[in-house]
Amino acid sequence: MAKKAPSKTESPTPEMGARERLDLLDRQIADALAQRQALVAQLAGGVRRVAYLGPEDSFSHLTALERFGEAADLVPVATIHAVFEEVAGGSCELGVVPLENSTHGRVTDTLEAFAGTAVAICGEAPMRIHHCLLGQGPRSAIGRVVSKPQALAQCSHWLAEHLPGVETVPYGSTSDAARLASEDPSVAAIASKQAGHRHGLEVLAPNIEDQKDNVTRFAVIGPKAAAPTGDDKTALMFELAHEPGALADGMAVFKKEQLNLTWIESFPIPGSRTADLSGGRYLFFVELVGHQDDAGVGRAVASLGEKCLQLRVLGSYARGKVLG
Fold of 227-324: Alpha-Beta Plaits (3.30.70)
What secondary structure, in 3-state letters, does 119-175 show? CEEEEEEEEECCCEEEECCCHHHCCEEEECHHHHHHCHHHHHHHCCCCEEEECCCHH
Q: Which CATH class is domain 132-205?
A: alpha beta
pLDDT for position 35: 65
CATH topology of domain 17-128+214-224: D-Maltodextrin-Binding Protein; domain 2 (3.40.190)
Question: Torsion angle, CA of 102/104/106/110, rounded to 10 degrees?
Answer: -100
Residues of the chain with CATH 3.40.190.10: 17-128+214-224, 132-205
Whether the CB-CB separation of 87 and 219 falls below 8 Å is answered with no
Question: Which of 113, 120, 105 lies closest to 77 in space, CA to CA?
Answer: 113
pLDDT (0 to 100) of residue 311: 97
Task: Determine the pLDDT at residue 275.
Answer: 78
d(CA 55, CA 296): 42
Residue-level pLDDT at 52:
97
| Radius of gyration from C-alpha coordinates of the chain | 22
Contacts of 248 (CB under 8 A, 6+ apart): none
The helix-helix angle for 246-256 and 295-305 (nearest 10°) equals: 160
What integer pLDDT is reported at residue 46 of this predicted model? 58
The pLDDT of residue 7 is 42
| pLDDT for residue 29 | 78
The predicted structure's pLDDT at residue 122: 97
Q: How many CB atoms lie within 10 A of CB 270?
A: 11
Angstrom distances, CA of residue 194 to CA of 57, 79, 175: 6, 21, 9
Reduced to 3 states (helix: H, G, I; strand: E, B; else coil), residue 272 is coil
pLDDT for the residue numbered 44: 47
Would you say 30 and 292 are in contact if contact means Cβ atoms under 8 Å apart? no
Antiparallel, parallel or unpaired: β 105-106 and 73-77: unpaired
d(CA 62, CA 59): 5
Report the DSSP pairing between strands 167-170 and 144-147: parallel
The tens digit of pLDDT for each residue in 160-175 reads 999 999 999 999 899 9
Helices (H) and strands (E) in the chain — how many of each? 10, 15
Looking at residue 34, what is its pLDDT?
Answer: 60
User: Model-level pTM?
Assistant: 0.82
Helix (H) or strand (E) holding 64: helix 59-68
Q: Are 50 and 68 in contact (CB under 8 A)?
A: yes
- State how beta strands 94-101 and 120-128 pair: unpaired
Determine the 3-state secondary structure of 75 from DSSP.
strand
For residue 89, the model assigns a pLDDT of 95
Task: Give the CA angle between residues 109, 71, 75 to the nearest 5°.
Answer: 30
Could you state, in chain order, the average pLDDT of each consecutive group of 10 residues for the chain (324 residues)? 45 76 76 62 64 94 94 94 97 96 92 94 97 95 96 96 96 94 97 96 97 96 95 97 94 98 93 78 96 98 97 97 92
**Tens of pLDDT, residues 230-259:** 999 999 999 999 899 999 999 999 999 999
Taking residue 238's Cβ as centre, other Cβ atoms within 10 Å add up to 20
* DSSP state letter for 303: H
Residues carrying CATH 3.30.70.260, the chain = 227-324
